[in-house]
């Protein structure tokens, strides 16, 4: 009970109501109390729904590099929210409680959740760009996150999506962040042609990088090159649609030459994506582009000082 009280000191996300995994009004959650500090499973107050939100029983939640950035203190939203904090933002689950103004959902519904809970009223939402909403809410950043048995999610009617029974919670949990990010990178910002003529190189094939490979394959890319230091990651990329892989451990010059050699006439790729956020991957993605090609920065760069042409 003491842990629950202290973990809720700075809680702007609602509390109380209903039964939790740890007892009446409580639930289990992963909590950190200092940036770079230990993360421990504790009993904390179970949240209550806002008037336009729900409480979701978490059935699956992913681990994203953005969670690591948040834990390191790189995200100002978590500083503004205050510690202690519950991370996590890739989630799917079952509606456990509903707010009084929610119309589209009821207790027991299976739902998928986007990482960005947009407002629907700002300039960007009016331009059909909810992922850059000017008044966005984010579990795991502006709100307590999904590494918990339950999470409170506002703006439910606008943002949540019913989950068909044939889609697993695990698959749906990845939709709201890594696949959304990949779609925006490959199709919207990267403007990949869907006529089977273009080449794509993805630097870093972790969660979001593999999603970029999948989106590129689904959108008809002719050549998809996956670059990573991990052989297991490269092999997974081949399973998910990559046509070739390159070991990022080759070194900058050999790596760039290897990627170009896999493209038509060795001219470089139509579209490249840095899905890792390191200086070497950013530089590599730029150098791998053909003349008038497109490079999209996806990985969050920290103190990035790339040397580019």
pLDDT in tens, 249-288: 999 899 999 999 999 999 999 999 999 999 899 999 999 9
> What is the band of 62 on the pLDDT scale with cuts at 50, 70, 90?
very high
Is the pLDDT at 297 greater than 90? The verdict is yes
d(CA 67, CA 309): 32
Tokens of 240: 């998910």
Task: Work out the angle at residue 287's Cα, subtended by the Cα atoms of residues 204 and 267, and round it to the nearest 5 degrees.
Answer: 110
Is the pLDDT at 228 greater than 90? The verdict is yes
Residue 167: its pLDDT value, please?
A: 96
CA distances from 180 to 28, 125, 174, 292 (A): 28, 16, 9, 26
d(CA 260, CA 239): 22
Is the pLDDT at 100 greater than 60? The verdict is yes
Mean pLDDT of the region 186-206: 96
Is the pLDDT at 22 greater than 80? The verdict is no
Residue 302: its pLDDT value, please?
A: 76
Residue matched to tokens 């029974």: 165
Residue matched to tokens 């579209």: 271
Beta carbons within 8 Å of 239's beta carbon, 6+ residues apart? none
d(CA 144, CA 167): 26
Is the pLDDT at 6 greater than 90? The verdict is no
Residue 303: its pLDDT value, please?
A: 67
Q: Kindly report the number of other CB atoms within 10 A of residue 164's CB atom.
A: 9
Average pLDDT, the chain: 91
The pLDDT tens digits of the residues spanning 115-124 come to 999 999 999 9
The pLDDT tens digits of the residues spanning 33-52 come to 999 999 999 999 999 999 99
Is the pLDDT at 5 greater than 70? The verdict is no
d(CA 215, CA 292): 22
d(CA 231, CA 245): 9
* Torsion 102-105-110-115 (CA) sign: negative
Residue 245: its pLDDT value, please?
A: 98
Residue 17: its pLDDT value, please?
A: 35
Mean pLDDT of the region 86-107: 98
pTM recorded for the entire structure = 0.85
Q: Where do the DSSP E strands lie in the chain?
A: 19-20, 23-24, 26-32, 39-45, 54-62, 90-98, 110-112, 150-153, 161-162, 199-203, 223-228, 244-247, 269-274, 289-297
User: Comparing C-alpha atoms, which of 7, 143, 23, 159 is closest to residue 80?
Assistant: 143
DSSP tally for the chain: helices H, then strands E: 11, 14
Tokens of 52: 């336009």
> What is the band of 146 on the pLDDT scale with cuts at 50, 70, 90?
very high
């Amino acid at each position: 009970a003491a842990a629950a009280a202290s973990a809720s000191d700075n809680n702007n996300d609602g509390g109380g109501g209903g039964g939790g995994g740890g007892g009446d009004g409580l639930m289990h959650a992963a909590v950190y109390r200092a940036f770079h500090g230990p993360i421990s499973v504790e009993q904390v107050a179970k949240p209550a729904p806002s008037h336009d939100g729900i409480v979701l029983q978490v059935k699956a939640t992913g681990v994203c590099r953005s969670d690591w950035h948040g834990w390191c203190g790189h995200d100002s939203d978590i500083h503004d929210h205050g510690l202690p904090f519950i991370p996590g933002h890739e989630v799917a689950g079952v509606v456990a409680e509903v707010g009084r103004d929610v119309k589209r959902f009821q207790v027991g519904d299976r739902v998928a959740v986007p990482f960005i809970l947009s407002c629907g009223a700002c300039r960007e939402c009016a331009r059909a760009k909810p992922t850059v909403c000017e008044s966005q809410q984010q579990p795991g950043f502006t709100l307590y996150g999904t590494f918990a048995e339950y999470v409170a999610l506002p703006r439910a009617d606008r943002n949540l999506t019913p989950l068909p029974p044939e889609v697993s919670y695990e698959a749906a949990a990845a939709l709201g962040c890594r696949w959304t990010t990949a779609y925006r990178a490959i199709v919207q910002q990267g403007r990949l042609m869907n006529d089977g003529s273009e080449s794509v190189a993805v630097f870093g094939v972790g969660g979001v990088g593999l999603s970029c490979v999948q989106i590129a394959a689904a959108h008809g890319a002719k050549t998809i090159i996956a670059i990573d230091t991990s052989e297991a990651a490269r092999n997974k990329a081949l399973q998910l649609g990559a046509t070739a892989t390159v070991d990022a451990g080759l070194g900058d010059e050999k790596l760039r030459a290897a990627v170009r050699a896999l493209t038509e006439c060795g001219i470089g790729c139509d579209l490249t994506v840095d899905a890792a956020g390191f200086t070497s991957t950013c530089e590599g993605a730029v150098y791998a582009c053909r003349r008038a090609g497109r490079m999209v920065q996806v990985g969050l760069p920290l103190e990035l000082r790339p040397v580019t042409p």
